[in-house]
Amino acid sequence: MKETNNFLIHKHNTPHPHYDLYLEVGDELRSWIIPNGIPENKSEKKVVVENEILKESIADTKAQEMIEDAYGTGKTKLWDRGTYTLETQKNIKIVFNAEGGKFNGKFLLHVPNWGRWTKKRLWTLEKIR
């Protein structure tokens, strides 16, 4: 399955600064909170927190609004945007190639065994190429 969609990453300035990753998947906008920075090197993994699924498009997702999430309330700033090619999409695994200004490469979003049983499902984001 190869399908091209849009992605967006906001830097969220809260008491616990983090990034918000948004991926358009079909008619949904899936999102994850990335508390410890974006993986930049191959095999670098970051724990990410699954956020709510939105019924809006990336075009409707605006920066600089006061947004509240699990890490607090604060303004967001556009960090990067671009397109990605979806290679694999399963319930607990997403493989995609991102082409943005800063966020580039092949990435794996995966729910490890320990991430399945938490209140908010935990994933890992890994740069694989």
User: What is the pLDDT at residue 22?
Assistant: 92
User: What is the pLDDT at residue 103?
Assistant: 96
User: What is the pLDDT at residue 18?
Assistant: 92
Percent of the chain scored above 70 by pLDDT?
Answer: 81
Q: How far apart are alpha carbons 42 and 50 in whole angstroms?
A: 22
Q: How far apart are alpha carbons 99 and 26 in whole angstroms?
A: 18
pLDDT by residue (tens digit) across 22-62?
A: 998 878 889 999 999 999 999 899 999 998 777 666 656 65
The domain limits of the chain are: 3-127
Evaluate whether 102 touches 111 at the Cβ level (below 8 Å).
Answer: no
pTM of the model: 0.85
Q: How far apart are alpha carbons 82 and 122 in whole angstroms?
A: 24
User: What is the pLDDT at residue 85?
Assistant: 95
Buried b (16+ CB within 10 A) or exposed e, 15-41: eeebbbbbbbbeeebbbbbbeeebbee
Q: How far apart are alpha carbons 51 and 54 in whole angstroms?
A: 9
* Section 3-16 average pLDDT: 88
User: What is the pLDDT at residue 68?
Assistant: 65
Residue 67 has pLDDT above 90, yes or no: no
Residue 67 Cα distances to 6, 11, 26, 29, 71, angstroms: 21, 11, 24, 16, 10
